[in-house]
Amino acid sequence: MYEFAVTPAITQLRRPGVLIADVAPEGLARELELAAGDRVVRVNGRAVRDYLDFRFQTAGETELELTVKKPNGETWELEIEREEGEDFGIEFEQIVPRQCANECIFCFCKGNPLDARPSLFVRDEDIRLSFLYGNYTTLSSITPDEMNRIIEQRLSPQYVSVHATDLKTRAYLLGVDEKRADISDKIQRLLDNDIEIHAQIVLCPTINDGAILQKTVRDLAAQFPKIISAAIVPLGLTRYNTDERLTKVTPEFCRQIISEIEPLQKEFRKILGVTFAFLGDEIYLKAGLPIPTRRHYGNYPQIEDGVGMVRSFLNSFERLLKKLERHRLLNESKSFALADGFFAENTRTHQLAIVPKYKKPNAENAKLNSLNGTILTGEMFAPVLREQIERVNSLIGSRLKVLAVPNTYFGGDVAVAGLLTGQDFLRVKNKIVGDFAIIPKHTIKSDEPILLDEMKFEELKAQFDVPIYDLDLQGLMQKIMNYEIR
Protein backbone atom coordinates (compact mmCIF):
# COMPACT_ATOMS: atom_id res chain seq x y z
CA MET A 1 0.00 0.00 0.00
CA TYR A 2 2.81 2.40 0.83
CA GLU A 3 4.51 3.40 -2.38
CA PHE A 4 7.58 4.89 -0.84
CA ALA A 5 9.46 5.38 -4.08
CA VAL A 6 6.92 7.37 -6.08
CA THR A 7 7.70 10.86 -7.20
CA PRO A 8 5.15 13.39 -5.98
CA ALA A 9 3.07 13.91 -9.06
CA ILE A 10 0.53 16.51 -8.12
CA THR A 11 2.43 19.55 -9.27
CA GLN A 12 3.80 18.08 -12.48
CA LEU A 13 2.22 19.06 -15.77
CA ARG A 14 1.68 16.42 -18.37
CA ARG A 15 3.73 17.17 -21.45
CA PRO A 16 3.50 15.23 -24.69
CA GLY A 17 5.89 12.35 -25.21
CA VAL A 18 8.34 10.67 -22.91
CA LEU A 19 11.47 12.37 -21.61
CA ILE A 20 14.88 10.83 -22.18
CA ALA A 21 16.67 10.85 -18.82
CA ASP A 22 19.96 9.38 -20.01
CA VAL A 23 21.60 7.87 -23.07
CA ALA A 24 24.17 5.05 -22.91
CA PRO A 25 27.71 6.03 -24.05
CA GLU A 26 27.43 3.58 -26.94
CA GLY A 27 24.35 2.43 -28.78
CA LEU A 28 21.70 3.39 -31.23
CA ALA A 29 20.43 6.47 -29.39
CA ARG A 30 23.95 7.89 -29.14
CA GLU A 31 24.50 7.32 -32.88
CA LEU A 32 21.23 9.16 -33.56
CA GLU A 33 22.47 12.05 -31.41
CA LEU A 34 19.63 11.70 -28.96
CA ALA A 35 20.37 13.15 -25.55
CA ALA A 36 18.98 13.61 -22.05
CA GLY A 37 16.22 16.25 -22.17
CA ASP A 38 14.84 15.16 -25.57
CA ARG A 39 11.25 13.99 -25.72
CA VAL A 40 10.15 11.12 -27.94
CA VAL A 41 6.63 12.12 -28.96
CA ARG A 42 5.77 9.64 -31.70
CA VAL A 43 6.84 6.21 -32.86
CA ASN A 44 5.67 5.20 -36.33
CA GLY A 45 3.07 7.98 -36.21
CA ARG A 46 1.58 6.86 -32.89
CA ALA A 47 1.70 9.10 -29.84
CA VAL A 48 3.98 8.00 -27.01
CA ARG A 49 2.84 8.75 -23.45
CA ASP A 50 5.50 6.99 -21.41
CA TYR A 51 8.25 4.42 -21.69
CA LEU A 52 5.77 1.55 -21.70
CA ASP A 53 4.30 2.99 -24.92
CA PHE A 54 7.80 3.35 -26.35
CA ARG A 55 8.63 -0.23 -25.41
CA PHE A 56 5.37 -1.52 -26.85
CA GLN A 57 5.54 0.45 -30.09
CA THR A 58 9.17 -0.35 -30.83
CA ALA A 59 9.07 -4.03 -29.79
CA GLY A 60 10.00 -6.32 -32.65
CA GLU A 61 10.25 -3.42 -35.16
CA THR A 62 13.43 -3.12 -37.21
CA GLU A 63 12.26 -0.09 -39.25
CA LEU A 64 11.07 2.85 -37.22
CA GLU A 65 10.15 6.49 -37.56
CA LEU A 66 10.68 8.54 -34.43
CA THR A 67 9.49 12.09 -33.82
CA VAL A 68 11.69 13.74 -31.23
CA LYS A 69 11.31 17.20 -29.66
CA LYS A 70 14.63 18.74 -28.69
CA PRO A 71 14.84 21.13 -25.69
CA ASN A 72 15.59 24.04 -28.09
CA GLY A 73 12.18 23.59 -29.75
CA GLU A 74 13.41 21.72 -32.85
CA THR A 75 11.48 18.67 -34.01
CA TRP A 76 13.51 15.83 -35.49
CA GLU A 77 12.00 13.18 -37.70
CA LEU A 78 14.26 10.13 -37.63
CA GLU A 79 14.05 7.12 -39.90
CA ILE A 80 15.83 4.20 -38.34
CA GLU A 81 16.82 0.73 -39.33
CA ARG A 82 18.09 -1.49 -36.60
CA GLU A 83 19.07 -5.07 -36.03
CA GLU A 84 16.43 -7.30 -34.52
CA GLY A 85 16.53 -6.89 -30.76
CA GLU A 86 19.07 -4.04 -30.93
CA ASP A 87 18.66 -1.87 -27.85
CA PHE A 88 18.36 1.91 -28.11
CA GLY A 89 20.43 2.51 -25.00
CA ILE A 90 17.92 5.00 -23.57
CA GLU A 91 16.88 5.52 -19.99
CA PHE A 92 13.50 7.22 -19.76
CA GLU A 93 11.90 9.33 -17.02
CA GLN A 94 9.92 7.47 -14.38
CA ILE A 95 6.21 7.07 -14.82
CA VAL A 96 4.27 9.80 -13.03
CA PRO A 97 1.56 7.91 -11.15
CA ARG A 98 -2.07 8.60 -11.78
CA GLN A 99 -4.09 9.49 -8.69
CA CYS A 100 -7.03 7.54 -7.31
CA ALA A 101 -10.53 8.96 -6.96
CA ASN A 102 -11.53 6.96 -3.89
CA GLU A 103 -11.94 7.80 -0.24
CA CYS A 104 -11.14 4.41 1.29
CA ILE A 105 -11.91 4.44 4.98
CA PHE A 106 -8.61 2.68 5.73
CA CYS A 107 -6.48 4.69 3.31
CA PHE A 108 -2.86 4.86 4.44
CA CYS A 109 -2.81 8.61 3.72
CA LYS A 110 -5.17 9.12 6.65
CA GLY A 111 -2.70 7.30 8.89
CA ASN A 112 0.21 9.66 8.24
CA PRO A 113 1.40 12.36 10.60
CA LEU A 114 0.44 15.73 9.13
CA ASP A 115 4.07 16.67 8.55
CA ALA A 116 4.98 13.40 6.79
CA ARG A 117 6.85 13.62 3.51
CA PRO A 118 4.61 14.66 0.58
CA SER A 119 5.15 11.39 -1.27
CA LEU A 120 3.37 9.54 1.57
CA PHE A 121 0.21 11.40 0.66
CA VAL A 122 0.32 10.37 -2.99
CA ARG A 123 -2.72 8.22 -3.68
CA ASP A 124 -1.41 6.39 -6.68
CA GLU A 125 -3.74 4.15 -8.61
CA ASP A 126 -2.09 3.30 -11.84
CA ILE A 127 -2.51 0.24 -14.02
CA ARG A 128 1.02 0.74 -15.42
CA LEU A 129 2.57 0.57 -11.95
CA SER A 130 0.35 -2.36 -11.21
CA PHE A 131 1.82 -4.23 -14.16
CA LEU A 132 5.39 -3.04 -13.57
CA TYR A 133 5.68 -3.24 -9.78
CA GLY A 134 2.65 -5.10 -8.50
CA ASN A 135 1.00 -1.97 -7.02
CA TYR A 136 -2.68 -2.51 -6.36
CA THR A 137 -5.43 -0.54 -8.05
CA THR A 138 -9.16 -0.63 -7.35
CA LEU A 139 -10.06 -0.28 -11.06
CA SER A 140 -12.95 1.93 -9.88
CA SER A 141 -11.85 5.02 -11.78
CA ILE A 142 -10.04 3.35 -14.65
CA THR A 143 -10.87 4.99 -18.00
CA PRO A 144 -11.91 3.16 -21.20
CA ASP A 145 -8.53 4.18 -22.66
CA GLU A 146 -6.70 2.52 -19.80
CA MET A 147 -8.81 -0.61 -20.15
CA ASN A 148 -7.97 -0.75 -23.85
CA ARG A 149 -4.33 -0.19 -23.09
CA ILE A 150 -4.12 -3.10 -20.64
CA ILE A 151 -5.60 -5.37 -23.27
CA GLU A 152 -3.71 -4.06 -26.29
CA GLN A 153 -0.32 -3.91 -24.58
CA ARG A 154 -0.88 -7.08 -22.57
CA LEU A 155 -0.19 -5.35 -19.25
CA SER A 156 -0.73 -8.62 -17.44
CA PRO A 157 -0.96 -9.51 -14.60
CA GLN A 158 -2.88 -6.71 -12.95
CA TYR A 159 -3.06 -6.42 -9.16
CA VAL A 160 -6.58 -5.48 -8.08
CA SER A 161 -7.85 -4.41 -4.66
CA VAL A 162 -11.21 -6.12 -4.52
CA HIS A 163 -11.81 -5.98 -0.74
CA ALA A 164 -15.32 -7.45 -1.13
CA THR A 165 -17.41 -8.79 -3.96
CA ASP A 166 -20.50 -7.68 -2.05
CA LEU A 167 -21.11 -4.36 -3.79
CA LYS A 168 -22.50 -2.47 -0.80
CA THR A 169 -19.50 -3.45 1.31
CA ARG A 170 -17.01 -2.60 -1.41
CA ALA A 171 -18.60 0.82 -1.97
CA TYR A 172 -18.57 1.46 1.79
CA LEU A 173 -14.89 0.55 2.08
CA LEU A 174 -13.90 2.62 -0.95
CA GLY A 175 -16.01 5.60 0.11
CA VAL A 176 -17.63 5.84 -3.33
CA ASP A 177 -21.10 5.14 -4.69
CA GLU A 178 -22.05 1.64 -5.79
CA LYS A 179 -21.97 2.53 -9.47
CA ARG A 180 -18.32 3.54 -9.24
CA ALA A 181 -17.48 0.67 -6.91
CA ASP A 182 -18.89 -1.91 -9.31
CA ILE A 183 -16.00 -3.34 -11.33
CA SER A 184 -17.58 -6.66 -12.25
CA ASP A 185 -17.81 -5.80 -15.98
CA LYS A 186 -14.25 -4.49 -16.06
CA ILE A 187 -12.89 -7.59 -14.36
CA GLN A 188 -14.85 -9.80 -16.72
CA ARG A 189 -13.55 -7.93 -19.76
CA LEU A 190 -9.96 -8.29 -18.56
CA LEU A 191 -10.41 -11.98 -17.88
CA ASP A 192 -12.14 -12.52 -21.24
CA ASN A 193 -9.08 -10.99 -22.87
CA ASP A 194 -6.73 -13.27 -20.95
CA ILE A 195 -5.40 -10.62 -18.62
CA GLU A 196 -4.45 -12.34 -15.38
CA ILE A 197 -5.32 -10.86 -12.02
CA HIS A 198 -3.96 -11.10 -8.50
CA ALA A 199 -6.60 -9.91 -6.03
CA GLN A 200 -6.22 -8.26 -2.66
CA ILE A 201 -8.58 -8.02 0.27
CA VAL A 202 -7.73 -5.55 3.01
CA LEU A 203 -9.46 -7.19 5.91
CA CYS A 204 -11.36 -4.80 8.19
CA PRO A 205 -12.92 -6.48 11.23
CA THR A 206 -16.73 -6.26 11.36
CA ILE A 207 -16.88 -4.86 7.79
CA ASN A 208 -15.64 -7.38 5.24
CA ASP A 209 -14.93 -10.44 7.40
CA GLY A 210 -17.22 -13.41 8.17
CA ALA A 211 -19.73 -14.36 5.47
CA ILE A 212 -18.66 -11.45 3.24
CA LEU A 213 -15.07 -12.67 3.25
CA GLN A 214 -16.15 -16.24 2.51
CA LYS A 215 -18.23 -15.04 -0.43
CA THR A 216 -15.45 -12.80 -1.74
CA VAL A 217 -12.89 -15.57 -1.63
CA ARG A 218 -15.24 -18.05 -3.27
CA ASP A 219 -16.29 -15.59 -6.00
CA LEU A 220 -12.65 -14.91 -6.83
CA ALA A 221 -11.67 -18.58 -6.76
CA ALA A 222 -14.47 -19.31 -9.22
CA GLN A 223 -12.41 -17.38 -11.80
CA PHE A 224 -9.22 -19.38 -11.20
CA PRO A 225 -6.81 -19.69 -13.05
CA LYS A 226 -7.38 -16.28 -14.67
CA ILE A 227 -7.61 -14.83 -11.21
CA ILE A 228 -4.38 -16.38 -10.02
CA SER A 229 -4.47 -15.68 -6.30
CA ALA A 230 -6.06 -13.63 -3.54
CA ALA A 231 -4.14 -12.06 -0.66
CA ILE A 232 -5.97 -11.32 2.56
CA VAL A 233 -4.02 -8.70 4.46
CA PRO A 234 -5.04 -7.10 7.76
CA LEU A 235 -5.99 -3.48 8.21
CA GLY A 236 -3.13 -1.52 9.78
CA LEU A 237 -3.98 1.38 12.05
CA THR A 238 -1.53 4.07 13.01
CA ARG A 239 -2.23 6.41 15.91
CA TYR A 240 -3.55 8.94 13.40
CA ASN A 241 -6.36 6.70 12.12
CA THR A 242 -9.18 7.73 14.38
CA ASP A 243 -12.08 6.77 12.13
CA GLU A 244 -14.65 5.17 14.42
CA ARG A 245 -15.82 2.83 11.69
CA LEU A 246 -12.52 0.95 11.91
CA THR A 247 -11.88 -1.82 14.41
CA LYS A 248 -8.40 -2.88 15.45
CA VAL A 249 -7.09 -6.25 14.29
CA THR A 250 -6.45 -8.28 17.45
CA PRO A 251 -4.68 -11.64 17.99
CA GLU A 252 -8.09 -13.27 18.66
CA PHE A 253 -9.44 -11.88 15.38
CA CYS A 254 -6.40 -13.29 13.55
CA ARG A 255 -6.89 -16.72 15.09
CA GLN A 256 -10.55 -16.61 14.11
CA ILE A 257 -9.69 -15.70 10.50
CA ILE A 258 -7.11 -18.48 10.24
CA SER A 259 -9.64 -21.01 11.50
CA GLU A 260 -12.21 -19.78 8.98
CA ILE A 261 -9.91 -19.60 5.97
CA GLU A 262 -7.96 -22.83 6.50
CA PRO A 263 -10.83 -25.12 5.45
CA LEU A 264 -11.26 -23.04 2.28
CA GLN A 265 -7.55 -23.29 1.52
CA LYS A 266 -7.73 -27.07 1.92
CA GLU A 267 -10.73 -27.20 -0.38
CA PHE A 268 -8.96 -25.07 -3.02
CA ARG A 269 -5.82 -27.20 -2.87
CA LYS A 270 -7.97 -30.25 -3.49
CA ILE A 271 -10.04 -28.74 -6.31
CA LEU A 272 -7.72 -26.15 -7.88
CA GLY A 273 -4.37 -27.65 -6.93
CA VAL A 274 -3.23 -24.41 -5.23
CA THR A 275 -3.96 -22.64 -1.93
CA PHE A 276 -5.33 -19.67 -3.92
CA ALA A 277 -6.41 -17.52 -0.91
CA PHE A 278 -3.38 -16.55 1.17
CA LEU A 279 -3.37 -14.86 4.54
CA GLY A 280 -0.79 -12.14 5.11
CA ASP A 281 2.17 -13.09 7.32
CA GLU A 282 1.07 -10.51 9.87
CA ILE A 283 -2.05 -12.54 10.58
CA TYR A 284 -0.06 -15.61 11.64
CA LEU A 285 2.48 -13.56 13.59
CA LYS A 286 -0.20 -11.66 15.44
CA ALA A 287 -2.16 -14.83 16.10
CA GLY A 288 0.98 -16.44 17.52
CA LEU A 289 0.44 -19.43 15.24
CA PRO A 290 2.99 -21.18 13.00
CA ILE A 291 3.70 -19.83 9.54
CA PRO A 292 2.51 -22.35 6.91
CA THR A 293 4.98 -24.56 5.09
CA ARG A 294 6.69 -23.85 1.76
CA ARG A 295 4.15 -26.06 -0.02
CA HIS A 296 1.29 -23.82 1.13
CA TYR A 297 2.72 -20.84 -0.78
CA GLY A 298 3.51 -22.55 -4.11
CA ASN A 299 5.52 -20.08 -6.15
CA TYR A 300 4.79 -17.24 -3.67
CA PRO A 301 2.39 -15.35 -5.96
CA GLN A 302 1.81 -12.52 -3.46
CA ILE A 303 5.16 -12.25 -1.73
CA GLU A 304 5.41 -8.52 -2.52
CA ASP A 305 2.23 -8.02 -0.53
CA GLY A 306 3.78 -9.56 2.59
CA VAL A 307 2.40 -13.02 1.92
CA GLY A 308 4.95 -15.78 2.43
CA MET A 309 7.91 -13.50 3.15
CA VAL A 310 8.48 -15.07 6.57
CA ARG A 311 8.33 -18.60 5.18
CA SER A 312 10.71 -17.69 2.39
CA PHE A 313 13.07 -16.12 4.93
CA LEU A 314 12.93 -19.13 7.27
CA ASN A 315 13.70 -21.50 4.44
CA SER A 316 16.57 -19.38 3.15
CA PHE A 317 17.90 -19.13 6.67
CA GLU A 318 17.76 -22.88 7.04
CA ARG A 319 19.96 -23.17 3.95
CA LEU A 320 22.32 -20.56 5.38
CA LEU A 321 22.64 -22.51 8.62
CA LYS A 322 23.48 -25.66 6.69
CA LYS A 323 26.14 -23.78 4.74
CA LEU A 324 27.55 -22.30 7.92
CA GLU A 325 27.61 -25.73 9.49
CA ARG A 326 29.54 -27.15 6.50
CA HIS A 327 31.84 -24.14 6.54
CA ARG A 328 32.52 -24.58 10.26
CA LEU A 329 33.11 -28.31 9.95
CA LEU A 330 35.44 -27.72 7.03
CA ASN A 331 37.40 -25.15 8.98
CA GLU A 332 37.48 -27.40 12.00
CA SER A 333 38.80 -30.25 9.92
CA LYS A 334 41.57 -27.96 8.61
CA SER A 335 42.29 -27.03 12.18
CA PHE A 336 42.10 -30.68 13.04
CA ALA A 337 44.65 -31.56 10.38
CA LEU A 338 47.06 -29.08 11.90
CA ALA A 339 46.39 -30.43 15.32
CA ASP A 340 46.78 -33.95 13.95
CA GLY A 341 50.31 -33.13 12.97
CA PHE A 342 50.95 -31.77 16.41
CA PHE A 343 49.72 -34.94 18.04
CA ALA A 344 51.04 -37.25 15.31
CA GLU A 345 52.72 -39.72 17.61
CA ASN A 346 49.76 -40.01 19.89
CA THR A 347 47.25 -40.51 17.11
CA ARG A 348 49.29 -43.29 15.57
CA THR A 349 49.67 -45.24 18.71
CA HIS A 350 46.51 -44.35 20.64
CA GLN A 351 43.57 -44.28 18.27
CA LEU A 352 41.11 -43.44 21.04
CA ALA A 353 43.08 -40.35 21.95
CA ILE A 354 42.59 -38.85 18.51
CA VAL A 355 40.44 -35.91 19.76
CA PRO A 356 43.00 -33.24 20.53
CA LYS A 357 42.64 -31.43 23.82
CA TYR A 358 43.97 -28.30 22.18
CA LYS A 359 42.54 -26.99 18.94
CA LYS A 360 44.83 -24.59 17.15
CA PRO A 361 42.76 -21.41 16.55
CA ASN A 362 41.48 -21.33 13.01
CA ALA A 363 41.51 -17.96 11.30
CA GLU A 364 38.27 -18.59 9.39
CA ASN A 365 36.26 -19.64 12.42
CA ALA A 366 37.80 -16.87 14.46
CA LYS A 367 36.39 -14.37 11.95
CA LEU A 368 32.91 -15.82 12.32
CA ASN A 369 33.24 -15.82 16.11
CA SER A 370 34.09 -12.16 16.01
CA LEU A 371 30.72 -11.09 14.55
CA ASN A 372 29.35 -8.93 17.30
CA GLY A 373 26.57 -6.47 16.53
CA THR A 374 22.89 -5.56 16.75
CA ILE A 375 20.23 -6.22 14.13
CA LEU A 376 17.31 -3.80 14.36
CA THR A 377 13.90 -4.78 13.08
CA GLY A 378 10.16 -4.23 13.64
CA GLU A 379 8.42 -5.62 16.71
CA MET A 380 6.39 -8.01 14.58
CA PHE A 381 9.30 -9.81 12.95
CA ALA A 382 11.80 -9.55 15.84
CA PRO A 383 10.87 -12.83 17.61
CA VAL A 384 11.17 -14.78 14.33
CA LEU A 385 14.52 -13.24 13.47
CA ARG A 386 15.83 -13.56 17.04
CA GLU A 387 15.20 -17.29 17.08
CA GLN A 388 17.16 -17.75 13.86
CA ILE A 389 20.01 -15.46 14.87
CA GLU A 390 20.37 -17.33 18.15
CA ARG A 391 20.84 -20.51 16.15
CA VAL A 392 23.60 -18.78 14.17
CA ASN A 393 25.23 -17.63 17.41
CA SER A 394 25.28 -21.08 18.91
CA LEU A 395 26.59 -22.54 15.67
CA ILE A 396 29.46 -20.19 14.96
CA GLY A 397 30.02 -18.46 18.28
CA SER A 398 29.00 -15.03 16.98
CA ARG A 399 27.37 -12.48 19.29
CA LEU A 400 24.58 -11.07 17.16
CA LYS A 401 21.61 -9.57 18.93
CA VAL A 402 18.16 -8.77 17.53
CA LEU A 403 16.55 -5.60 18.81
CA ALA A 404 12.79 -4.99 18.35
CA VAL A 405 12.26 -1.32 17.52
CA PRO A 406 8.89 0.18 18.50
CA ASN A 407 7.37 2.38 15.81
CA THR A 408 6.67 5.62 17.61
CA TYR A 409 6.46 7.69 14.43
CA PHE A 410 3.28 6.05 13.15
CA GLY A 411 2.32 4.45 16.46
CA GLY A 412 -0.87 2.42 16.75
CA ASP A 413 -0.40 -1.20 15.80
CA VAL A 414 2.25 -0.52 13.16
CA ALA A 415 4.95 -3.06 13.93
CA VAL A 416 6.37 -3.95 10.52
CA ALA A 417 10.05 -3.34 9.85
CA GLY A 418 9.50 -1.43 6.61
CA LEU A 419 7.76 1.51 8.29
CA LEU A 420 10.46 2.23 10.86
CA THR A 421 11.85 5.75 10.67
CA GLY A 422 15.10 7.50 11.57
CA GLN A 423 13.57 8.77 14.82
CA ASP A 424 12.58 5.25 15.82
CA PHE A 425 16.13 4.00 15.31
CA LEU A 426 17.56 6.91 17.27
CA ARG A 427 15.29 6.18 20.20
CA VAL A 428 16.88 2.76 20.70
CA LYS A 429 20.45 3.96 20.14
CA ASN A 430 21.46 3.18 23.73
CA LYS A 431 20.42 -0.41 23.36
CA ILE A 432 22.87 -1.11 20.51
CA VAL A 433 25.60 -3.54 21.53
CA GLY A 434 28.66 -4.73 19.66
CA ASP A 435 30.68 -3.31 16.80
CA PHE A 436 27.93 -2.46 14.29
CA ALA A 437 24.19 -2.07 13.77
CA ILE A 438 22.07 -3.30 10.90
CA ILE A 439 18.77 -1.69 9.88
CA PRO A 440 16.31 -3.09 7.30
CA LYS A 441 17.26 -1.96 3.82
CA HIS A 442 13.70 -1.10 2.81
CA THR A 443 13.50 1.62 5.47
CA ILE A 444 15.73 3.64 3.14
CA LYS A 445 14.17 5.16 0.00
CA SER A 446 15.20 3.12 -3.01
CA ASP A 447 16.43 6.04 -5.13
CA GLU A 448 17.69 8.38 -2.41
CA PRO A 449 19.37 7.68 0.95
CA ILE A 450 16.65 9.06 3.21
CA LEU A 451 14.22 7.45 5.64
CA LEU A 452 10.44 7.75 5.85
CA ASP A 453 10.60 10.70 8.26
CA GLU A 454 12.94 12.46 5.80
CA MET A 455 16.00 11.92 8.00
CA LYS A 456 19.04 11.46 5.77
CA PHE A 457 20.77 8.12 6.19
CA GLU A 458 24.06 10.00 6.62
CA GLU A 459 22.51 11.99 9.50
CA LEU A 460 21.39 8.81 11.17
CA LYS A 461 24.83 7.24 10.74
CA ALA A 462 26.49 10.31 12.23
CA GLN A 463 24.47 9.94 15.43
CA PHE A 464 25.54 6.38 16.11
CA ASP A 465 28.83 5.36 17.71
CA VAL A 466 29.11 2.25 15.55
CA PRO A 467 28.79 1.79 11.76
CA ILE A 468 25.24 1.20 10.51
CA TYR A 469 24.52 -1.02 7.53
CA ASP A 470 21.25 -1.12 5.64
CA LEU A 471 20.72 -4.71 4.59
CA ASP A 472 17.84 -6.83 3.41
CA LEU A 473 17.59 -10.36 4.74
CA GLN A 474 19.41 -11.75 1.74
CA GLY A 475 22.20 -9.23 2.25
CA LEU A 476 22.35 -10.01 5.95
CA MET A 477 22.73 -13.72 5.26
CA GLN A 478 25.38 -13.00 2.65
CA LYS A 479 27.31 -10.84 5.09
CA ILE A 480 27.19 -13.52 7.77
CA MET A 481 28.44 -16.11 5.27
CA ASN A 482 31.26 -13.90 4.12
CA TYR A 483 31.86 -12.49 7.63
CA GLU A 484 32.00 -9.09 5.95
CA ILE A 485 30.40 -7.11 8.75
CA ARG A 486 32.73 -5.09 10.90
The DSSP secondary-structure symbol of 452 reads T
| C-beta of 109 vs 471, nearer to ligand SF4 | 109
246 counts as binding ligand SF4 under rule CB under 6 A: no
| C-beta of 109 vs 264, nearer to ligand SF4 | 109
| C-beta of 130 vs 138, nearer to ligand SF4 | 138
Among 40, 43, 107, 368, binds ligand SF4 (CB under 6 A): 107
* Strand, helix or coil for residue 400: strand
Please report the DSSP string for 190-259 in residue order: HHHTT--EEEEEEE-TTTS-HHHHHHHHHHHHTTTTTEEEEEEEE----TT---TT-----HHHHHHHHH
Among 67, 102, 377, 407, binds ligand SF4 (CB under 6 A): 102
The dihedral built from the CA positions of residue 5, 9, 14 and 20, taken in this order, carries a sign that is: negative
| C-beta of 100 vs 420, nearer to ligand SF4 | 100
Residue 446 CB, nearest distance to ligand SF4 (Å)? Answer: 19
Residue 451 CB, nearest distance to ligand SF4 (Å)? Answer: 22
Question: Judging by DSSP bridges, how do beta strands 277-279 and 227-234 pair with one another?
Answer: parallel
Q: Which amino acid is at 367?
A: K
The DSSP secondary-structure symbol of 304 reads G
Residue 64 CB, nearest distance to ligand SF4 (Å)? Answer: 37
Among 32, 95, 100, 213, binds ligand SF4 (CB under 6 A): 100
According to CB under 6 A, which residues from 133 to 152 bind ligand SF4?
Answer: 138
How far apart, in whole angstroms, are the C-alpha atoms of residue 269 and residue 263?
Answer: 10
Residue 119 CB, nearest distance to ligand SF4 (Å)? Answer: 12
| C-beta of 173 vs 291, nearer to ligand SF4 | 173
123 counts as binding ligand SF4 under rule CB under 6 A: yes
# residues contacting ligand SF4 (CB under 6 A): 9
* Strand, helix or coil for residue 403: strand
Among 64, 80, 109, 191, binds ligand SF4 (CB under 6 A): 109
Give the count of beta carbons closer than 10 Å to the beta carbon of residue 315. 14
235 counts as binding ligand SF4 under rule CB under 6 A: no
Q: Which stretch binds ligand SF4 (CB under 6 A): 53-61, 95-103, 325-333, 384-392?
A: 95-103
Residue 103 CB, nearest distance to ligand SF4 (Å)? Answer: 6
Single out the residue of 219, 234, 202 nearest to residue 264, CA to CA. Answer: 219
| C-beta of 107 vs 155, nearer to ligand SF4 | 107
Question: Judging by DSSP bridges, how do beta strands 63-69 and 75-81 pair with one another?
Answer: antiparallel
According to CB under 6 A, which residues from 390 to 429 bind ligand SF4?
Answer: none
Q: Which stretch binds ligand SF4 (CB under 6 A): 9-17, 96-104, 255-263, 337-345?
A: 96-104
Give the count of beta carbons closer than 10 Å to the beta carbon of residue 433. 14
| C-beta of 100 vs 389, nearer to ligand SF4 | 100
Bridge partners, residue 69, by sequence? 39, 75
Please report the DSSP string for 111-140 in residue order: GS-TTS-GGGG--B--HHHHHHH---B--T
| C-beta of 103 vs 262, nearer to ligand SF4 | 103
| C-beta of 69 vs 123, nearer to ligand SF4 | 123
Give the count of beta carbons closer than 10 Å to the beta carbon of residue 118. 12
Among 20, 23, 95, 104, binds ligand SF4 (CB under 6 A): 104
| C-beta of 165 vs 312, nearer to ligand SF4 | 165
Residue 241 CB, nearest distance to ligand SF4 (Å)? Answer: 12
Q: Which alpha helices (DSSP H) does 2-83 contain, by range?
A: 28-31, 51-58
Q: Which stretch binds ligand SF4 (CB under 6 A): 99-107, 254-262, 291-299, 355-363?
A: 99-107
What 335-343 contacts at long range (C-beta under 8 Å, 24+ apart), as own/partner pairs, is: 335/359, 335/360, 335/361, 335/362, 335/365
125 counts as binding ligand SF4 under rule CB under 6 A: yes
CA 16 remoteness from chain centre: 32
Q: Which stretch binds ligand SF4 (CB under 6 A): 12-20, 38-46, 103-111, 335-343?
A: 103-111
Phi/psi region, residue 469 (left: phi>0; alpha: psi -120 to 50; beta: rest), is beta
| C-beta of 38 vs 125, nearer to ligand SF4 | 125
Q: Which alpha helices (DSSP H) does 242-308 contain, by range?
A: 251-271, 281-287, 294-297
Q: Which amino acid is at 172?
A: Y
For residues 6 and 123, is the Cβ–Cβ distance under 8 A?
Answer: no
312 counts as binding ligand SF4 under rule CB under 6 A: no
Residue 171 CB, nearest distance to ligand SF4 (Å)? Answer: 12
The dihedral built from the CA positions of residue 441, 447, 449 and 451, taken in this order, carries a sign that is: negative
| C-beta of 202 vs 480, nearer to ligand SF4 | 202
Q: Which stretch binds ligand SF4 (CB under 6 A): 73-81, 97-105, 111-119, 368-376?
A: 97-105
Residue 111 CB, nearest distance to ligand SF4 (Å)? Answer: 10
| C-beta of 125 vs 146, nearer to ligand SF4 | 125
Name the site residues for ligand SF4 (rule: CB under 6 A). 100, 102-104, 107, 109, 123, 125, 138
